[in-house]
Structure 1
């Protein structure tokens, strides 16, 4: 499965989780990805690790937009290592830009709203469940400069960071995500 960034940084106000999912869906379709993508965010109703059905999918390889390995398995994201990127490959946006090295993303963070195991944090650590850009509200973000997509940095919702999108279906139509 693929983990790809939206094409521009966003504040914590993404019109909720459905708005963030819509961004991922629209950008994936615009750039010709045939499968379904959802926002790689925790919310009131979902943990990050719940985006994909547990079990046999734990060992599916996670690729970037250029089909290079980011994680040997989904479990490598949620094993408590803060989603440490151990491969030398980068996270790309749907339009092919390297998030870590492109000036479009001046701050090298990704929104997630989870702890290092992919479990949701409370409302006050998810920009009011992704519906606030209030400078006094906060969310958990991952630090790409440290190569950790689930690090426990807590930053203000008014800032603009990368939104990651996770592919949740396969070409054969098998749905990986929870219904």
Structure 2
């Protein structure tokens, strides 16, 4: 067997998991259709992420890229992976060097974000508004009055915090009516090697 008895995954080389080595990458994808603020709550948004990932054979656990009443967006990815795991798109191109980059005014690399069904959200007409819901401060903390009543309300008079994709940042601060159908992103928050 391998030294140390662990699995050797040729994709990541022998240094996989050692301190300072890049962790296994985490994927960032979009739900296949835009959503208003009325998503029936964070758990249903998480479930949509999970089921659309499963539908295309992704083995990791995916969660909605949203802050909510009991959840700060920046805490969705495990502490151990926040500095080291690169964030990739569906085609394994690097979007951000790490999860922490997103919250340090990090600019997205010049590659597209794709939906689970392979559409480029930057150009595809499925999403007329190139805006991403997040409900967070720029640091990834929950924005108490800006998450469409915990993602349950689509009223025009309510607002949620969103980000304009052309800013190159996922946490740019634009207050948007909860009735607007915007992009919802999903982040892989645990990696399952496909043995």
One fold, TM greater than 0.5?
yes
CA distance in 2, matches of 1:128, 1:53: 26
| 1:54 CA drift (Å) | 1.9
The structure number with the bigger radius of gyration is 2
- State the secondary structure of the residue aligned to 2:135: coil
| 1:56 CA drift (Å) | 4.9
Structure 2 residue corresponding to 1:24, chosen from 32, 49, 56: 49
Q: Please tell me whether residue 84 in structure 1 is matched to residue 107 in structure 2.
A: yes
| 1:78 CA drift (Å) | 1.0
Q: How does 1:148-159 map to 2 (within 5 A)?
A: 148-159=169-180
CA contact (8 A) 2:102 2:169 kept: no
Report what 2:151 is aligned to: 130
Describe the superposition over 1:62-113 as per-residue Cα deviations: whole angstroms up to 9, x where unpaired.
Answer: 001110000011111011x1x521x110110000000010000000000000
Q: Which runs of 4+ in 1 moved over 4 A?
A: none
* RMSD of Structure 2 on Structure 1 (CA): 1.3
How many residues get paired? 169
Structure 1 residue corresponding to 2:191, chosen from 163, 170, 174: 170
- State the secondary structure of the residue aligned to 1:140: strand
CA contact (8 A) 2:31 2:52 kept: yes
- State the secondary structure of the residue aligned to 1:167: strand
Structure 1, unaligned stretches of length 5 or more? Answer: 174-179
- State the secondary structure of the residue aligned to 2:53: helix
Q: How does 1:1-179 map to 2 (within 5 A)?
A: 1-79=26-104, 81=105, 83-85=106-108, 87-122=109-144, 124-172=145-193
CA contact (8 A) 2:158 2:178 kept: yes
Which range moves more in the overlay, 26-35 or 108-117? Answer: 26-35
Which range moves more in the overlay, 28-37 or 92-101? Answer: 28-37
